[in-house]
Amino acid sequence: MTTQQQLKQAVAEHALTYIEDGMILGVGTGSTVNCLIDLLPKLKIKGAVASSNATAERLAKLGIEVLDLNMTGELDLYIDGADEVNANLQLIKGGGGALTREKIVCASSKQFICMVDGSKWVEKLGVTFPLPIEVLPQARSYVARELVKMGGEPVYREGFVTDYGNLILDVYDLDLTEPLVMEQRMNNIVGVVCNGIFAYQKADKLLIARPSGVEMLE
C-alpha cells in the first residue's frame, strides 16, 4: 500500500524536473513542500524566496541561500502544495497559515506549479476543507460577522499567529461554486488581509500523485 507520505515524496521528486540550474525558486510551505526542500541541495539553484518563516529556516539549514523578494525581481517558478484543488486548477490554500506570503510569492512568479497527493482533489472547493482567511487582529469579530452574512461559519484558529502577526479564521460552509467571484468578495471585506482561494492565481501546472503514478495537468 502506498502511504500519503510516499505520495508526497513522489510528487516532490517529480517537481524537481521543472527546476533549472541557476534559478531563483519561489518555495511554498507545508509537508509536501518540505519533501521538495530536502531534495534541493542536489540541484544547482541560485537561491530561493521563502513563503514562510518555517520554509526559510528549513532552506537555510540545508545551506540554500534565502533571498528577499524585493531584491530578486520576478521569479521564474513558484512551487507549492495545496489543501484542495479542483479540475480548473483552482485551489484552497492556507492550512499552514502561510497563505498571504504564499500568494505574494506566487504573484511574483512567472509560473506556479502545484503539487499534491490525490486526497486533495475535489469536485467543488470548500466542501472538505474550510477556507482560511488571514485577518488583522482588531477586525477579527467584524470580519467573522460579515462572513456569517455570506453564509459561512467562521472558526477562530486559536493560539495561531501568522508570520505577519495576524489571525486566521477557518470558514466552513461557504458556497465556493464560483471561486473567482468569492475570492474577490472576500478581499472586499475591510480587515481581511488575504483569503486562501487561489483562483486568480490558480496553478499553471498541477502535479498529482496517486498510487498509479504522478500525473501532470495544465
Give me the amino acid identity at 160: F
Contact 92, 129 (CB under 8 A): yes
CB of 202 to ligand 5RP, least distance (A): 14
Q: Does 95 bind ligand 5RP (CB under 6 A)?
A: yes
Stretch that binds ligand 5RP, among 12-20, 25-33, 140-148, 155-163 (CB under 6 A): 25-33
Q: Name the residue nearer to ligand 5RP (CB basis): 34 or 187.
A: 34
Closest residue by Cα to residue 102 from 89, 114, 86: 114
Q: Name the residue nearer to ligand 5RP (CB basis): 117 or 146.
A: 117
Distance CA 113, CA 111 (A): 7
Q: Does 85 bind ligand 5RP (CB under 6 A)?
A: no
Q: Does 98 bind ligand 5RP (CB under 6 A)?
A: yes
**57 given a catalytic annotation:** no
Q: Does 26 bind ligand 5RP (CB under 6 A)?
A: no
CB-count burial class (<10 Å; 0-12, 13-18, 19+) for 153: middle
Q: Name the residue nearer to ligand 5RP (CB basis): 32 or 195.
A: 32
Of 19, 48, 69, 81, the one binding ligand 5RP (CB under 6 A) is 81
Catalytic residue among 84, 102, 134, 183: 102
Q: Does 134 bind ligand 5RP (CB under 6 A)?
A: no
Q: Does 97 bind ligand 5RP (CB under 6 A)?
A: yes
Q: Does 82 bind ligand 5RP (CB under 6 A)?
A: yes
Q: Does 99 bind ligand 5RP (CB under 6 A)?
A: yes
Enzyme catalytic residues: 102
Residues that bind ligand 5RP (CB under 6 A): 28-32, 80-83, 93-99, 102
